[in-house]
């Protein structure tokens, strides 16, 4: 059995951070790199730069200046129709089929603004609606066959107590509120998803993938959150291994506030 290395990374503007991607690629050499928040229209995506790194296959769903997701690969990809959630014209999902009929769903879930109340904050209401539609979409496909799905990306929720630096202090902060955690749990139940990182690094170990730009020294207090995830369906259980959170990327020059998460998958 061979294996492929899959990485997910909220890059926070792909064209600005090409040097970071090159730096990451030199060490980790992912076969498939899934990016979020590319902030780039499809016709402006830097295909040439990725081809110079050896990536020849692309599934891109972008828009000018906002959002955007891209799955780039050294291995052949078969693209699927782009899905739009909540009918807002936002590029937040792309899917592609890779070896062994494995479908990789690359998501950028809305952040939700600052006020955790859907009646007072349209952005938060949008986030909850987006999660509801995700859960409903995958639930319809559960049980029809042994779907070999990977769901990954910036889900913008840190669901567990040890996915944040302080559970008590963040219970009323968007990304860790009980209502968001409940909605994400419904998504996870929708296809019996397995949280690969937590399967391999169980609580109470604290694991984070995001640190705010507002902190002058992110390493000093390590006030992070685990917003970036890799899940697999039961059909892939036991084939996902060697999850690595590339914390050092947060200290690179002009970094994203997120770091890559890498997984090896046997195919």
pLDDT confidence of residue 15: 98
Separation of CA 28 from chain center: 17
Distance CA 265, CA 8 (A): 13
pLDDT confidence of residue 188: 98
Phi and psi at 202, nearest 5°, equal -65, 160
pLDDT confidence of residue 73: 98
Separation of CA 98 from chain center: 17
Query: Taking the complete model, does pTM exceed 0.85, yes or no?
Result: yes
State the fold for domain 3-266.
Answer: Deoxyribonuclease I; Chain A (3.60.10)
pLDDT confidence of residue 83: 87
Distance CA 250, CA 110 (A): 22
Are 127 and 156 contacting, i.e. CB atoms less than 8 angstroms apart? yes
| DSSP bridge pairs for 103 | 97, 149
- Sequence-distant (6+) residues with CB within 8 A of 99 are 4, 75, 267
Residue 236: C-alpha distances to residues 42, 63, 148, 198 (Å) = 31, 32, 6, 15
HEC letters along the chain: CCEEEEEEEECCCCCCCHHHHHHHHHHHCCCEEEEECCCCCHHHCCHHHHHHCCCCEEEEECCCCCCCEEEEECCCCEECCCCCCCCCCCCCEEEEEEHHHEEEEEEECCCCCCCCCCCCCHHHHHHHHHHHHHHHHHHHHCCCCCCCEEEEEECCCCCCHHHECCCCCCCCCCCCCHHHHHHHHHHHHHCCCEEHHHHHCCCCCCCCCEECCCCCCHHHHCCEECCEEEEECHHHCCCEEEEEECHHHHHCCCCCCECCEEEEEEC
* Inter-axis angle of helices 178-190 and 122-141, nearest 10: 20
Distance CA 81, CA 95 (A): 8
Domain definitions of the chain by residue range:
3-266
pLDDT confidence of residue 180: 98
pLDDT confidence of residue 79: 87
Name the residue among 218, 216, 267, 201 with its Cα closest to residue 240: 267
Residue 94: C-alpha distances to residues 32, 101, 119 (Å) = 13, 16, 29
The tens-digit pLDDT sequence of the chain (267 residues) is: 799 999 999 999 999 999 999 999 999 999 999 999 999 999 999 999 999 999 999 999 999 999 999 999 999 999 888 889 999 999 999 999 999 999 999 999 999 999 999 999 999 999 999 999 999 999 998 876 789 999 999 999 999 999 999 999 999 999 999 999 999 999 999 999 999 999 999 999 999 999 999 887 899 889 999 999 999 999 999 999 999 999 999 999 999 999 999 999 999
């Amino acid at each position: 059995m061979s294996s492929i290395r899959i990485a997910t990374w909220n890059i926070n503007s792909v064209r600005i951070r090409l040097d970071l991607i090159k730096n990451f690629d030199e060490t980790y050499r992912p076969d498939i790199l899934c990016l979020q928040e590319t902030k780039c229209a499809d016709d402006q995506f830097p295909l040439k730069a990725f081809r110079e790194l050896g990536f020849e296959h692309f599934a891109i769903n972008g828009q000018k200046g906002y959002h955007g997701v891209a799955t780039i690969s050294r291995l052949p990809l078969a693209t699927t129709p782009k899905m739009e959630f909540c009918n807002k014209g936002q590029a937040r999902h792309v899917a592609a089929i890779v070896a062994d009929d494995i479908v990789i769903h690359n998501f950028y879930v809305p952040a939700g603004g600052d006020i955790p109340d859907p009646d007072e904050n349209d952005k938060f209401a949008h986030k909850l609606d987006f999660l509801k539609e995700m859960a409903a979409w995958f639930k319809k496909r559960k049980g029809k066959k042994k779907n070999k799905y990977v769901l990954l990306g910036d889900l913008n929720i840190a669901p567990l107590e040890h996915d944040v630096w302080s559970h008590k202090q963040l219970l009323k902060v968007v990304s860790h509120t009980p209502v968001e955690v409940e909605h994400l749990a419904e998504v996870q139940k929708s296809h019996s998803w397995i949280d690969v990182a937590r399967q391999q690094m169980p609580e109470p170990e604290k694991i984070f993938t995001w640190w705010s730009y507002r902190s002058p020294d992110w390493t000093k207090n390590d006030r992070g959150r685990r917003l970036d995830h890799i899940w697999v369906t039961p059909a892939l259980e036991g084939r996902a291994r060697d999850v690595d959170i590339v914390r050092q990327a947060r200290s690179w020059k002009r970094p994203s506030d997120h770091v890559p998460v890498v997984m090896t998958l046997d195919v």
